[in-house]
Structure 1
């Protein structure tokens, strides 16, 4: 998938550069022709024959159509790829929410599309908790510019869940991090190092504390 995305971006970039070169050549040719033509030149007899239609005469149009077709094809391909990934994410998200909340989604579906690369979900119905809302951020495969930014910035799919507790719930500090990063998190986070302690639990993976 990454190779196809890079190939699509390279193809669109090459098409844009070639179109720019063609426009420059045509403008340069038109300027040269206007300079070489003398205002006092004798009128020439116009030919009634139609100009020859060749593909070279429509280089710019062909490049623009190719770029447009490439963008449309990339949009549908990227959107389809994200739809498949969303269906893979939906089951584990639904299972976790249904195990902890009584009302999940809108009653028909859990994940709702906010854009071609973003999905939202909502759950409520748990003691001491107002609601939980989440945001599944996929790579923008349908947008070449955003995809290029994701590739250069090493952005990956991200799942973000925000749980809002009731106002009368006392404050607490909670963290779940990979075991190999626990010391670094303790140094960087004052609240974790001051109010939290490492505990063992069989409900989390062995490489997580």
Structure 2
């Protein structure tokens, strides 16, 4: 599980902290106070000195001088505990609150793991039954091969591949204009107690991401994105979106102008980033696509739409030409609500596969890409030159240092070489111990919060 290791590390840290906190309540044995006979008649203290001549005489004198009812000797006490009486410590009931808290947390963790795994399995199974298995499902109707692995006795392959308790994948291939399709179900990590608690403060949702790998001959140069405002901000970090597209202003829902190519477009809910406006108008003015985004019958289904990306300049994988759809997953008993949005997948594959740019737009797109390639090549060349210059300066500096050491006396040269070795070792150790901020993620932050909270609770409930 994703955060299991972090959770048990937090438990170990908490146990260590409890032991450190409980150390203040340990009674130190063996520190008996010295017996002093105090003479209070004249205010001066004097020690009683007994002369002994033999062991037997000493024992008799000691018995005579011993008080009838000896008082217990005081002991050094740390942490506020009561002193021992008669050589035995005062009986105190042991506190099992910490152990009970640990047991409750562990049992709760196991129960959440079992429940979360079953819930995510229900969602994946519902998606597979509704859209991936059966002649009436969308993917078997649109693709010749669905699933992975060898077919079973009934001729069906495994529809969903489970990579973890919150990640499932479905593969399909065998369709015109594209090489294949990969659907990824990224579900909430319900099987992890920490992630389950954090979801109350940092809400997340179940997502379906569908990547369609287009053939090179069936996708002209284009970059187009349609997304909700939040997803549009995330897409803006992509190199192809940042380099080739610009925001397209569209009229919001309401009375449309007679010349509006996409009337009734929900501009307040969906943003458009396009390389050129005609690309968006040509694809989304198709009545089948237009009805999904503007029809009142699909208004409630549009709440599941997150983003759509069509790019011929994908740099994040092995496939350069890509169609990517991102939808939110409904509850497992409402999986039919995805049907209108999933229908966009084969529809846009066909529209993009037969789409042709005008000669002017094609020329402009090619010129932009040539300029981008030249700029990238210049940037790479400049980077290579900077690296070579830096290496050259390092070599020159090392040669100068070597020449300086050769002019020193043997003893001075030895001391200088030892000093340089210590500096190099210290620098290497510093580089190894320096934490990497790039690796700091949600799990590490959550672990720090958990350790802090549990440490605070341990200090509060520790016996005083």
TM-score scaled by length of structure 2: 0.34
Measure the CA separation in 2 of the matches of 1:63 and 1:131.
51
Structure 1 runs not aligned, ≥5 long: 1-15
Measure the CA separation in 2 of the matches of 1:81 and 1:183.
30
Aligned residue number for residue 6 of structure 1: none
| 8 Å contact from structure 2 (residues 170, 182) kept in 1 | yes
Any idea what SS the aligned residue of 1:109 has? Answer: coil
Aligned residue number for residue 280 of structure 2: 196
Counterparts in 2 of 1:77 and 1:191: CA distance versus 1, 3 Å: same
CA shift for structure 1 position 66: 1.5
> Which residue of 145, 148, 157 corresponds with 1:103?
145
Structure 2 runs not aligned, ≥5 long: 1-10, 34-72, 76-85, 149-155, 229-264, 303-343, 345-464
| 8 Å contact from structure 1 (residues 150, 156) kept in 2 | no
CA shift for structure 1 position 182: 7.5
Measure the CA separation in 2 of the matches of 1:82 and 1:192.
41
Measure the CA separation in 1 of the matches of 2:279 and 2:201.
38
| 8 Å contact from structure 1 (residues 173, 196) kept in 2 | no
Any idea what SS the aligned residue of 2:139 has? Answer: helix
Any idea what SS the aligned residue of 1:133 has? Answer: strand
CA shift for structure 1 position 34: 3.2
> Which residue of 99, 102, 105 corresponds with 1:67?
105
CA shift for structure 1 position 79: 0.9
CA shift for structure 1 position 57: 3.7
CA shift for structure 1 position 152: 2.8
> Which residue of 153, 172, 180 corresponds with 2:266?
180
Aligned residue number for residue 31 of structure 2: 39
| 8 Å contact from structure 1 (residues 140, 147) kept in 2 | yes
Aligned residue number for residue 118 of structure 2: 80
Measure the CA separation in 2 of the matches of 1:32 and 1:62.
21
Tell whether 2:155 aligns with 1:155.
no
Greater Rg by CA: 2
CA shift for structure 1 position 121: 0.7
Choose 71-80 or 60-69, whichever is displaced more. 60-69
Counterparts in 2 of 1:96 and 1:152: CA distance versus 1, 3 Å: farther
Listed one character per residue, the Cα deviations across residues 14-34 of structure 1 (whole Å, up to 9, x for unaligned) are xx8xxx69x75x755542443
Aligned pairs for 1:81-160 (under 5 A) are 81-94=119-132, 95-106=137-148, 107-160=156-209
Counterparts in 2 of 1:166 and 1:61: CA distance versus 1, 3 Å: same
Measure the CA separation in 2 of the matches of 1:183 and 1:146.
29
CA shift for structure 1 position 163: 0.5
CA shift for structure 1 position 134: 1.2
Any idea what SS the aligned residue of 1:168 has? Answer: helix
Measure the CA separation in 2 of the matches of 1:99 and 1:196.
27
Choose 104-113 or 147-156, whichever is displaced more. 147-156
CA shift for structure 1 position 195: 1.8
Counterparts in 2 of 1:141 and 1:112: CA distance versus 1, 3 Å: same
TM-score scaled by length of structure 1: 0.69
Paired residue total: 183
Listed one character per residue, the Cα deviations across residues 15-70 of structure 1 (whole Å, up to 9, x for unaligned) are x8xxx69x75x7555424436x56236695469xxx89x7x443322221221111
